[in-house]
A and B are shown apart, each in its own frame.
Chain A
Amino acid sequence: MVMSPLSSAERAELIGRYRAGYGVLLNALDGLTPADLDWRPTPEAWNVRDVVHHLEDAEMTGAVRLRRLLTEDEPFLVAFDEEAYRRRLGYAARPIEPALDAIRAAHATTAELLDRLTGDDWARGGTHSEEGAYPLTRWLAFHASHTHEHAAQIRQLRLARVGAAPPPAEPSSARGPMPAAR
Protein backbone atom coordinates (compact mmCIF):
# COMPACT_ATOMS: atom_id res chain seq x y z
CA MET A 1 0.00 0.00 0.00
CA VAL A 2 1.22 3.47 -0.91
CA MET A 3 1.25 5.67 2.16
CA SER A 4 -0.19 9.14 1.89
CA PRO A 5 2.36 11.79 2.86
CA LEU A 6 -0.42 13.69 4.64
CA SER A 7 -1.95 12.67 7.97
CA SER A 8 -5.73 12.62 8.20
CA ALA A 9 -5.57 15.74 10.38
CA GLU A 10 -3.49 17.53 7.72
CA ARG A 11 -5.92 16.46 5.02
CA ALA A 12 -8.88 17.72 7.05
CA GLU A 13 -7.15 21.05 7.58
CA LEU A 14 -6.45 21.43 3.86
CA ILE A 15 -10.03 20.50 2.94
CA GLY A 16 -11.25 23.11 5.42
CA ARG A 17 -8.96 25.66 3.80
CA TYR A 18 -10.27 24.72 0.36
CA ARG A 19 -13.85 25.21 1.56
CA ALA A 20 -13.02 28.62 3.05
CA GLY A 21 -11.44 29.98 -0.14
CA TYR A 22 -14.56 31.38 -1.74
CA GLY A 23 -15.54 33.35 1.38
CA VAL A 24 -12.03 34.78 1.64
CA LEU A 25 -12.22 35.78 -2.02
CA LEU A 26 -15.55 37.55 -1.44
CA ASN A 27 -14.04 39.41 1.51
CA ALA A 28 -11.17 40.57 -0.67
CA LEU A 29 -13.70 41.89 -3.22
CA ASP A 30 -15.87 43.64 -0.61
CA GLY A 31 -16.61 47.23 -1.54
CA LEU A 32 -14.84 46.88 -4.87
CA THR A 33 -15.29 49.84 -7.21
CA PRO A 34 -15.28 49.65 -11.03
CA ALA A 35 -11.93 51.43 -10.92
CA ASP A 36 -10.53 48.73 -8.61
CA LEU A 37 -11.74 46.03 -10.97
CA ASP A 38 -9.92 47.26 -14.04
CA TRP A 39 -6.82 48.97 -12.67
CA ARG A 40 -3.45 47.51 -13.72
CA PRO A 41 -0.16 48.45 -12.09
CA THR A 42 1.50 48.03 -15.49
CA PRO A 43 0.04 47.33 -18.95
CA GLU A 44 1.09 43.65 -18.76
CA ALA A 45 0.07 43.02 -15.16
CA TRP A 46 -3.20 41.36 -14.22
CA ASN A 47 -6.09 43.39 -12.87
CA VAL A 48 -8.71 42.18 -10.38
CA ARG A 49 -11.06 41.17 -13.21
CA ASP A 50 -8.32 38.98 -14.71
CA VAL A 51 -7.68 37.34 -11.34
CA VAL A 52 -11.35 36.41 -10.89
CA HIS A 53 -11.60 34.92 -14.38
CA HIS A 54 -8.34 33.08 -13.79
CA LEU A 55 -9.89 31.52 -10.69
CA GLU A 56 -12.99 30.57 -12.70
CA ASP A 57 -10.96 28.62 -15.22
CA ALA A 58 -8.35 27.27 -12.80
CA GLU A 59 -10.85 26.10 -10.21
CA MET A 60 -13.18 24.49 -12.76
CA THR A 61 -10.10 22.79 -14.23
CA GLY A 62 -9.11 21.69 -10.74
CA ALA A 63 -12.58 20.27 -10.10
CA VAL A 64 -12.42 18.19 -13.28
CA ARG A 65 -8.86 17.08 -12.58
CA LEU A 66 -9.90 15.73 -9.19
CA ARG A 67 -12.72 13.75 -10.81
CA ARG A 68 -10.28 12.35 -13.36
CA LEU A 69 -7.77 11.41 -10.64
CA LEU A 70 -10.55 9.53 -8.86
CA THR A 71 -11.96 7.65 -11.86
CA GLU A 72 -9.13 7.10 -14.36
CA ASP A 73 -6.01 5.03 -13.84
CA GLU A 74 -3.07 7.46 -13.79
CA PRO A 75 -4.70 10.19 -15.91
CA PHE A 76 -2.52 12.52 -17.97
CA LEU A 77 -3.25 16.12 -16.99
CA VAL A 78 -2.40 18.77 -19.57
CA ALA A 79 -0.78 21.94 -18.17
CA PHE A 80 -2.96 25.02 -17.91
CA ASP A 81 -1.33 28.05 -19.60
CA GLU A 82 -2.86 30.78 -17.47
CA GLU A 83 -1.53 33.64 -19.58
CA ALA A 84 -2.92 32.09 -22.79
CA TYR A 85 -6.29 31.66 -21.11
CA ARG A 86 -6.30 35.27 -19.96
CA ARG A 87 -5.51 36.71 -23.36
CA ARG A 88 -7.36 34.25 -25.55
CA LEU A 89 -10.59 34.15 -23.58
CA GLY A 90 -11.00 37.90 -23.24
CA TYR A 91 -10.88 38.10 -19.44
CA ALA A 92 -10.56 41.90 -19.52
CA ALA A 93 -13.94 42.36 -21.23
CA ARG A 94 -16.13 39.90 -19.34
CA PRO A 95 -18.38 40.51 -16.28
CA ILE A 96 -17.13 38.71 -13.18
CA GLU A 97 -20.42 37.65 -11.54
CA PRO A 98 -20.76 34.41 -13.55
CA ALA A 99 -17.10 33.67 -12.82
CA LEU A 100 -17.72 34.05 -9.08
CA ASP A 101 -20.71 31.71 -9.34
CA ALA A 102 -18.53 29.19 -11.17
CA ILE A 103 -15.81 29.32 -8.49
CA ARG A 104 -18.36 28.89 -5.70
CA ALA A 105 -20.06 25.96 -7.45
CA ALA A 106 -16.81 24.22 -8.37
CA HIS A 107 -15.70 24.41 -4.75
CA ALA A 108 -19.07 23.34 -3.31
CA THR A 109 -19.48 20.27 -5.50
CA THR A 110 -15.82 19.28 -5.19
CA ALA A 111 -15.80 19.67 -1.39
CA GLU A 112 -18.63 17.10 -1.31
CA LEU A 113 -16.29 14.65 -3.03
CA LEU A 114 -13.31 15.46 -0.80
CA ASP A 115 -15.39 14.71 2.29
CA ARG A 116 -16.12 11.22 1.00
CA LEU A 117 -12.63 10.13 -0.03
CA THR A 118 -11.40 6.81 1.30
CA GLY A 119 -7.89 5.76 2.25
CA ASP A 120 -7.47 4.10 -1.16
CA ASP A 121 -8.56 7.28 -2.92
CA TRP A 122 -5.81 9.25 -1.18
CA ALA A 123 -3.19 6.94 -2.73
CA ARG A 124 -4.33 7.77 -6.27
CA GLY A 125 -2.45 9.97 -8.69
CA GLY A 126 -1.73 10.88 -12.29
CA THR A 127 0.89 12.61 -14.42
CA HIS A 128 1.03 16.33 -15.14
CA SER A 129 2.46 17.33 -18.54
CA GLU A 130 4.95 19.76 -16.95
CA GLU A 131 5.21 18.80 -13.29
CA GLY A 132 5.41 15.04 -13.68
CA ALA A 133 4.01 12.82 -10.92
CA TYR A 134 0.81 14.35 -9.60
CA PRO A 135 -0.54 12.53 -6.57
CA LEU A 136 -3.96 13.47 -5.27
CA THR A 137 -2.34 14.99 -2.19
CA ARG A 138 -0.53 17.41 -4.47
CA TRP A 139 -3.87 18.42 -5.97
CA LEU A 140 -5.17 19.12 -2.48
CA ALA A 141 -2.12 21.07 -1.33
CA PHE A 142 -2.34 23.28 -4.41
CA HIS A 143 -6.08 23.91 -4.51
CA ALA A 144 -6.41 24.39 -0.74
CA SER A 145 -4.34 27.57 -1.03
CA HIS A 146 -4.87 28.72 -4.60
CA THR A 147 -7.98 30.86 -4.03
CA HIS A 148 -6.54 32.30 -0.81
CA GLU A 149 -3.38 33.36 -2.62
CA HIS A 150 -5.33 35.15 -5.32
CA ALA A 151 -7.54 36.82 -2.70
CA ALA A 152 -4.31 38.20 -1.22
CA GLN A 153 -3.25 39.32 -4.69
CA ILE A 154 -6.56 41.20 -5.04
CA ARG A 155 -6.01 42.95 -1.70
CA GLN A 156 -2.52 43.96 -2.82
CA LEU A 157 -3.83 45.30 -6.13
CA ARG A 158 -6.43 47.39 -4.31
CA LEU A 159 -3.85 48.78 -1.92
CA ALA A 160 -1.45 49.49 -4.77
CA ARG A 161 -4.12 51.44 -6.64
CA VAL A 162 -4.79 53.61 -3.60
CA GLY A 163 -1.06 54.11 -3.17
CA ALA A 164 -0.49 54.94 -6.81
CA ALA A 165 -0.28 58.72 -7.00
CA PRO A 166 -2.38 60.07 -9.87
CA PRO A 167 -1.39 61.14 -12.43
CA PRO A 168 0.17 59.06 -13.87
CA ALA A 169 -0.12 55.78 -11.99
CA GLU A 170 3.32 54.20 -11.70
CA PRO A 171 3.38 51.99 -8.61
CA SER A 172 6.66 50.51 -7.53
CA SER A 173 5.11 47.21 -6.48
CA ALA A 174 3.94 45.93 -9.83
CA ARG A 175 3.17 42.28 -9.55
CA GLY A 176 2.79 39.71 -12.24
CA PRO A 177 0.33 36.86 -12.15
CA MET A 178 0.63 34.61 -9.13
CA PRO A 179 0.84 31.83 -8.29
CA ALA A 180 1.21 29.41 -11.17
CA ALA A 181 -1.94 27.38 -11.72
CA ARG A 182 -0.88 25.07 -14.46
Chain B
Amino acid sequence: MTPAELQHLIAQYKAGYDEVVRALAGIGPDERDWRPAPSEWSAREVVHHLADSETISGLRLRRLLIESNPVIQGYDEAEYARHFRYQERPWEPALRAFEAARTTTAQILDAMTDADWRRTGTHTESGPYSTEAWLRIYADHGHVHANQIRNNRAAWAARPR
Protein backbone atom coordinates (compact mmCIF):
# COMPACT_ATOMS: atom_id res chain seq x y z
CA MET B 1 0.00 0.00 0.00
CA THR B 2 1.39 3.43 -0.87
CA PRO B 3 1.58 6.14 1.81
CA ALA B 4 -1.08 8.12 -0.08
CA GLU B 5 -3.43 5.14 -0.14
CA LEU B 6 -2.81 4.54 3.55
CA GLN B 7 -3.62 8.14 4.41
CA HIS B 8 -6.74 8.04 2.25
CA LEU B 9 -8.04 4.90 3.98
CA ILE B 10 -7.30 6.27 7.47
CA ALA B 11 -9.15 9.48 6.59
CA GLN B 12 -12.09 7.41 5.34
CA TYR B 13 -12.08 5.41 8.58
CA LYS B 14 -12.18 8.64 10.60
CA ALA B 15 -15.10 9.97 8.52
CA GLY B 16 -17.26 6.85 8.94
CA TYR B 17 -19.09 7.86 12.11
CA ASP B 18 -20.16 11.24 10.75
CA GLU B 19 -21.30 9.54 7.55
CA VAL B 20 -23.66 7.31 9.55
CA VAL B 21 -24.95 10.28 11.58
CA ARG B 22 -25.72 12.13 8.33
CA ALA B 23 -27.56 9.09 6.98
CA LEU B 24 -29.69 8.97 10.16
CA ALA B 25 -30.52 12.70 10.23
CA GLY B 26 -34.24 13.31 10.70
CA ILE B 27 -35.20 9.63 10.77
CA GLY B 28 -38.61 8.96 12.34
CA PRO B 29 -39.40 6.42 15.09
CA ASP B 30 -41.25 4.02 12.79
CA GLU B 31 -38.76 4.48 9.98
CA ARG B 32 -35.95 3.61 12.39
CA ASP B 33 -37.41 0.19 13.14
CA TRP B 34 -38.65 -0.66 9.65
CA ARG B 35 -37.10 -3.59 7.82
CA PRO B 36 -37.16 -3.46 4.00
CA ALA B 37 -37.60 -7.25 4.03
CA PRO B 38 -38.00 -9.76 6.87
CA SER B 39 -34.40 -10.91 6.46
CA GLU B 40 -32.91 -7.42 6.33
CA TRP B 41 -31.87 -5.12 9.15
CA SER B 42 -33.65 -1.98 10.27
CA ALA B 43 -31.66 1.22 10.80
CA ARG B 44 -31.74 0.47 14.53
CA GLU B 45 -30.22 -2.96 13.94
CA VAL B 46 -27.54 -1.45 11.70
CA VAL B 47 -26.53 0.94 14.49
CA HIS B 48 -26.22 -1.93 16.98
CA HIS B 49 -24.24 -3.92 14.44
CA LEU B 50 -21.84 -1.00 14.10
CA ALA B 51 -21.44 -0.79 17.89
CA ASP B 52 -20.49 -4.46 18.24
CA SER B 53 -18.56 -4.81 15.00
CA GLU B 54 -16.49 -1.67 15.48
CA THR B 55 -15.67 -2.48 19.10
CA ILE B 56 -14.54 -5.95 17.99
CA SER B 57 -12.53 -4.54 15.08
CA GLY B 58 -10.83 -1.90 17.23
CA LEU B 59 -9.70 -4.63 19.61
CA ARG B 60 -8.55 -6.79 16.68
CA LEU B 61 -6.21 -4.02 15.58
CA ARG B 62 -4.84 -3.74 19.12
CA ARG B 63 -4.22 -7.49 19.26
CA LEU B 64 -2.47 -7.45 15.86
CA LEU B 65 -0.10 -4.82 17.27
CA ILE B 66 0.55 -6.56 20.58
CA GLU B 67 0.38 -10.33 20.12
CA SER B 68 2.60 -12.40 17.88
CA ASN B 69 0.43 -13.73 15.03
CA PRO B 70 -2.85 -13.63 17.02
CA VAL B 71 -5.78 -15.83 16.11
CA ILE B 72 -8.65 -13.51 15.19
CA GLN B 73 -11.97 -15.16 15.99
CA GLY B 74 -14.71 -14.70 13.41
CA TYR B 75 -18.22 -13.98 14.66
CA ASP B 76 -21.73 -14.41 13.28
CA GLU B 77 -23.16 -10.92 12.86
CA ALA B 78 -26.69 -12.16 12.11
CA GLU B 79 -26.61 -14.28 15.27
CA TYR B 80 -25.46 -11.26 17.25
CA ALA B 81 -28.40 -9.21 15.89
CA ARG B 82 -30.87 -11.88 17.03
CA HIS B 83 -29.25 -13.00 20.24
CA PHE B 84 -28.55 -9.49 21.50
CA ARG B 85 -31.96 -8.18 20.44
CA TYR B 86 -30.71 -5.29 18.37
CA GLN B 87 -34.26 -4.41 17.33
CA GLU B 88 -35.42 -3.92 20.95
CA ARG B 89 -32.56 -1.95 22.47
CA PRO B 90 -32.08 1.82 22.60
CA TRP B 91 -29.68 3.00 19.96
CA GLU B 92 -28.09 5.99 21.68
CA PRO B 93 -25.56 3.92 23.71
CA ALA B 94 -24.79 1.93 20.56
CA LEU B 95 -24.04 5.11 18.60
CA ARG B 96 -21.74 6.24 21.41
CA ALA B 97 -19.95 2.86 21.36
CA PHE B 98 -19.45 3.06 17.59
CA GLU B 99 -18.11 6.61 17.85
CA ALA B 100 -15.77 5.83 20.77
CA ALA B 101 -14.40 2.69 19.14
CA ARG B 102 -13.53 4.69 16.03
CA THR B 103 -12.09 7.68 17.89
CA THR B 104 -9.83 5.64 20.15
CA THR B 105 -8.72 3.37 17.30
CA ALA B 106 -7.97 6.37 15.07
CA GLN B 107 -5.51 7.56 17.73
CA ILE B 108 -3.70 4.24 17.34
CA LEU B 109 -3.77 4.33 13.52
CA ASP B 110 -2.16 7.77 13.53
CA ALA B 111 0.79 6.50 15.55
CA MET B 112 1.47 3.32 13.55
CA THR B 113 4.92 2.86 12.02
CA ASP B 114 5.92 1.11 8.79
CA ALA B 115 6.75 -1.98 10.85
CA ASP B 116 3.29 -1.89 12.44
CA TRP B 117 1.74 -1.95 8.97
CA ARG B 118 3.52 -5.23 8.25
CA ARG B 119 2.13 -7.13 11.25
CA THR B 120 -0.13 -10.11 10.70
CA GLY B 121 -2.45 -12.55 12.41
CA THR B 122 -4.76 -15.37 11.33
CA HIS B 123 -8.53 -15.09 11.02
CA THR B 124 -10.42 -18.28 11.89
CA GLU B 125 -12.47 -18.07 8.68
CA SER B 126 -10.55 -15.97 6.16
CA GLY B 127 -6.95 -16.98 6.97
CA PRO B 128 -4.02 -14.52 6.91
CA TYR B 129 -5.08 -11.19 8.37
CA SER B 130 -2.69 -8.25 8.36
CA THR B 131 -3.02 -4.73 9.75
CA GLU B 132 -3.20 -3.57 6.13
CA ALA B 133 -6.03 -6.01 5.39
CA TRP B 134 -7.75 -4.77 8.56
CA LEU B 135 -7.64 -1.19 7.26
CA ARG B 136 -8.97 -2.19 3.84
CA ILE B 137 -11.92 -3.95 5.49
CA TYR B 138 -12.83 -1.28 8.02
CA ALA B 139 -12.01 1.97 6.19
CA ASP B 140 -15.38 1.91 4.43
CA HIS B 141 -17.38 -0.21 6.88
CA GLY B 142 -19.15 2.86 8.27
CA HIS B 143 -19.81 4.18 4.77
CA VAL B 144 -21.22 0.84 3.60
CA HIS B 145 -23.72 0.83 6.46
CA ALA B 146 -24.54 4.54 6.00
CA ASN B 147 -25.56 3.60 2.45
CA GLN B 148 -27.60 0.70 3.79
CA ILE B 149 -29.46 3.14 6.05
CA ARG B 150 -30.03 5.51 3.09
CA ASN B 151 -31.38 2.63 1.02
CA ASN B 152 -33.69 1.64 3.87
CA ARG B 153 -34.98 5.21 4.07
CA ALA B 154 -35.56 5.42 0.30
CA ALA B 155 -37.49 2.13 0.45
CA TRP B 156 -39.45 3.38 3.46
CA ALA B 157 -40.43 6.55 1.55
CA ALA B 158 -41.52 4.47 -1.47
CA ARG B 159 -43.32 1.75 0.50
CA PRO B 160 -46.93 0.90 -0.43
CA ARG B 161 -49.37 2.66 1.89
Report yes or no: B97 in contact with A88, Cβ–Cβ below 8 A: no
Cβ 8 A contact of A105, one of B59, B67, B79, B96: B96
Residues on B with C-beta less than 8 A from A133 are none
Is chain B's binding surface mostly helix, strand, loop or mixed? helix
Residues of B in contact with A (beta carbons under 8 Å apart):
51-52, 55-56, 58-59, 62-63, 65-67, 70-71, 73, 75-76, 79-80, 83-85, 89-90, 93-94, 96-97, 99-101, 103-104, 107-108, 111
Pair A90/B111 contact, Cβ less than 8 Å: yes
Q: Which of A64, A84, A104, A113 contacts B55 (CB 8 A)?
A: A64
Interface residues of A in 134-163 (CB under 8 A from B): none
A54 to B136, CA, bound (A): 27
Task: Determine the main DSSP class of A at the interface with B.
Answer: helix
Residues of B close to A106: CB separation below 8 A: 55, 97, 100
B100 touches A105 (CB 8 A): yes
CB of B93 within 8 A of CB of A85, answer: no
Query: Given the complex of chains A and B, what is the CA–CA distance between A70 and B79 in angstroms?
Result: 11
A-B contacts at CB below 8 angstroms, number:
88
- In the complex, the answer to whether A98 meets B55 with C-beta atoms within 8 Å is no
Assess the B80–A56 pair: CB atoms within 8 A: no
Mark A residues whose CB is within 8 Å of B. 56-57, 60-61, 63-64, 67-68, 70-72, 75, 78, 81, 84-85, 88-90, 93-95, 98-99, 101-102, 104-106, 108-109, 112-113, 116
